Amino acid sequence: MTNIPETGRTPRVQIRLVVIQILVLSLLGTLGGRLWYLQIREGAEYAKEASGNHVQQVVEPAVRGSILDARGVAIADNETRLVVSASRTDLLKMRDDGKAVLTKLAGVLGMAPEDVMQKVRLCDAKTPQPCWNGSPYQPIPITDEATPKQALQIRERSEDFPGITAEPEAVRRYPSPGGANTSQVLGYLSPVTDDEITKAQDTDSPYLRSDQVGRSGLERQYDKMLRGKAGVTRYEVDNLGRVIGEAEADAAEPGSALVTSIDSRVQRVAEFELNDAMKIARQQFDKITGENYKADSGAVVVMEAKTGRVVAMASAPTYDPNVWVGGISAKDYRQLTGKNSDYPLLNRAIQGQSAPGSTFKVVSTAAAVEAGYEWDGGYPCTSSYSVGGQVFKNFEGESFGPISLGRALEVSCDTVFYGLADREWKRDGGINPKKGEPKDYFYKAAHQFGLGKETGVDLPNEVTGRVPDRQWKESYWKANKDGWCKTGKKDGSYVEKIAYENCLEGNKMREGDSINYSIGQGDTLVTPIQEAVIYGALANGGTMYTPTIGKAIVSADGKSVKEIKPKAQGRLPVNQATIKGMDAALEGVVTRGTAAWKFGGWPQDEIPLHAKTGTAEVYGKQTTSWLATYSKDYTIVMTIAQAGTGSGASGEAVRHIYNALYGVSADGAINKKNALLPTPQKGLPKVRTDGTIKSPKVAKDPAKEQRASQEGPAEQDEQLPGATTATATATNRDTRRRRRARGSRRMLT
């Protein structure tokens, strides 16, 4: 019979109880240790984090820094306006998602209900503009043009407009001094997106949900400096959300001012002359089609030859940058981006690319010298040049007999360059060169002149242009071969024949390719800013500068000034003798060459000008006008698409810009009092500690014969005679906004 302890427990049961006791004690020990760790060792840290659950943040957006021209005149700044905003979060709590409130709001604001609804919808891949691309948790602006009466209606009937606010706010404005809107250079702002907030959260410049960020132009390029730092006030609240005290506050830091090299007076002249040249071109007839020239787009760049600083940059068609302020309407967005808009958002000075025509001949001349051809050699300038069964004609069939390279530049003789390029093509082995044999002087020269790559201008989205060398032809052929082979026909139309030839040997450098290339035709593409860099280098003796618009970053109190120095990026691949020869030839273009008829009476002895005209042919379109010029101080390049010859369409406009710069009247007399900028400006405007600006001394505005009005105080609205209605409307609208804002502040305080 088994002995059972008095407790009634078997040894097995006792062992189990001991194990359980050990486990319980272990768990209690672990729990106690964890409590000690949390409450004693890390207690202070967790208490601090827990307190954060009862802290609410109120964000005060920083005042965005101004963008100033070289004299200190604001071309982008801020003003107080009455902004009506909607809280999407509050609207979505309503049964109808706030449709009734927004419809009622539209009636007060005099807007269409549909336009108001579109303002508050969120942007995504399927939702077209206009829409809200910022955070869905921040107030969404409906309009920044509310009148005091409208704002008071909303505020006094707040029960009828839940989720709607009407408050004075500082918003961006683009004052367009004198009518020079500089729109593509300045760019525009829009709300920060959640994706941008996430990407920037671990950087030294994180975004807040209230931030507006630059989307193009200088606003984007210098966004970090202009944006400043938002102020954040943290309030302690109880469980019911009632404020019980202020935890801490970080004051807002206004953004720095960007001083640019743009002179708004020169800018308005450049914009006016470009638009006027396009209007005049549309009144002329294309000799080939018998139709009026379309002159549908263009650009002009005015750049300091010895620094690369951009004094003016205009692109047409243009637009009023103020349309983006407070959110863009569906109508305005369609006008800027629709198929019939001519895409005014493009900055054609850095994004417009086309064949350069004869302005490219300075590159071909340098290549010929590098290849061993003598400058003063006698090169036949015949009326045409034949290769096999194809005839390449000189412009208008001109013939000058044997001439030098300099004279070929001066009279722009195509056949001289045809012959030189053809000889080099043959020396390189023709259509089937041996590996490593081609010297490709003409193509290498283009790369050495900086073509086929970005200039590095301080604006976003610059395009590279194109140098159609052997590497490009090979890659382009691989990408398009299947399509060419599918559509090409040996005996088809012109386009089908070209496709057939490209299918067979589109990857090879053909004789006709090199001949066309030598005069800036074929597949070669350049931008106006690239041309400005090249001709600026010819003006200063061979140094290519990186073009810049930003001149200095100045803190809001004026105490910190960080100058943006000019930067050389290389030298032209030619010796001083060749530069001197080109310089003389390009001066001859003005005095007795292809541009002489537009520059007659110019004071050449006192202010020597140099130029190269270009008329680029584009398949299926009218010819593109190019005119590249320089003086000892400035480089001016103008191009107008579908406008005819280089001098014919652009010559007079470029002449007028030089007139304004140097104070030259129509009869060639120089009046320094009327000169806008006879020498590049070296000083910087001074930002005082109170934010006001002291401008350096500069020359006065041009007189009426310079086709510009006398300039008044910086705050005065100016209008250049003949400026577009859109520009005048924008200027007048700015005046009304300022007056309305002043009135709104009085009524709402």
Rounded to the nearest 10 degrees, the angle between the axes of helix 441-448 and helix 414-427 is 110
Closest to 702 (Cα-Cα) out of 75, 260, 270, 170: 270
Q: Which residue has the tokens 């302020």?
A: 325
Closest to 348 (Cα-Cα) out of 292, 406, 278, 396: 278
pLDDT of residue 460 exceeding 60: yes
pLDDT of residue 714 exceeding 70: no
pLDDT of residue 199 exceeding 80: yes
Q: What is the pLDDT of residue 709?
A: 37
In the predicted model, what is the mean pLDDT of residues 532-559?
96
Q: What is the pLDDT of residue 236?
A: 73
Q: What is the pLDDT of residue 239?
A: 62
Q: When comparing pLDDT for 657 and 431, which is higher?
A: 657
Strands 384-387 vs 390-393: parallel, antiparallel or unpaired: antiparallel
Q: Identify whether 696 is preceded by a cis peptide bond (ω within 30 of 0).
A: no
pLDDT of residue 588 exceeding 60: yes
210-214, 221-225, 478-482, 724-728: least confident range: 724-728
Q: When comparing pLDDT for 256 and 28, which is higher?
A: 256
Q: What is the pLDDT of residue 145?
A: 85
Q: When comparing pLDDT for 690 and 70, which is higher?
A: 70
Contact, 66 vs 76, CB < 8 A? yes
Burial of 156 per CB tally in 10 Å (0-12, 13-18, 19+): exposed
pLDDT of residue 185 exceeding 70: yes
Dihedral pair phi/psi, residue 358, rounded to 5°: -70, -10
Contact, 631 vs 311, CB < 8 A? no
Q: What is the pLDDT of residue 171?
A: 84
Q: What is the pLDDT of residue 711?
A: 36
In the predicted model, what is the mean pLDDT of residues 527-536?
98
The percentage of residues in the chain with a pLDDT greater than 90, rounded to a whole number, is 59
8-12, 26-30, 174-178, 628-632: least confident range: 8-12
Q: When comparing pLDDT for 684 and 132, which is higher?
A: 684
Q: What is the pLDDT of residue 398?
A: 82
Q: What is the pLDDT of residue 124?
A: 82
Contact, 521 vs 536, CB < 8 A? no
Q: When comparing pLDDT for 251 and 174, which is higher?
A: 174
In the numeric block, which tokens belong to residue 665?
């009247």
Contact, 144 vs 326, CB < 8 A? yes
Q: What is the pLDDT of residue 518?
A: 97
Q: What is the pLDDT of residue 51?
A: 54
In the predicted model, what is the mean pLDDT of residues 714-726?
32
Q: What is the pLDDT of residue 132?
A: 84
User: Which of the given ranges, 1-5, 189-193, 278-282, 686-690, has the highest pLDDT on average?
Assistant: 278-282
Dihedral pair phi/psi, residue 562, rounded to 5°: -115, 105
Q: What is the pLDDT of residue 250?
A: 78
DSSP 442-495: HHHHHHHTTTTS----SSTT----B---HHHHHHHHHHHHHHHHHH--TTS-HH
User: Which of the given ranges, 225-234, 583-592, 699-708, has the highest pLDDT on average?
Assistant: 583-592
Q: What is the pLDDT of residue 72?
A: 94
Average pLDDT along the chain? 86
pLDDT of residue 746 exceeding 50: no
Q: What is the pLDDT of residue 644?
A: 93
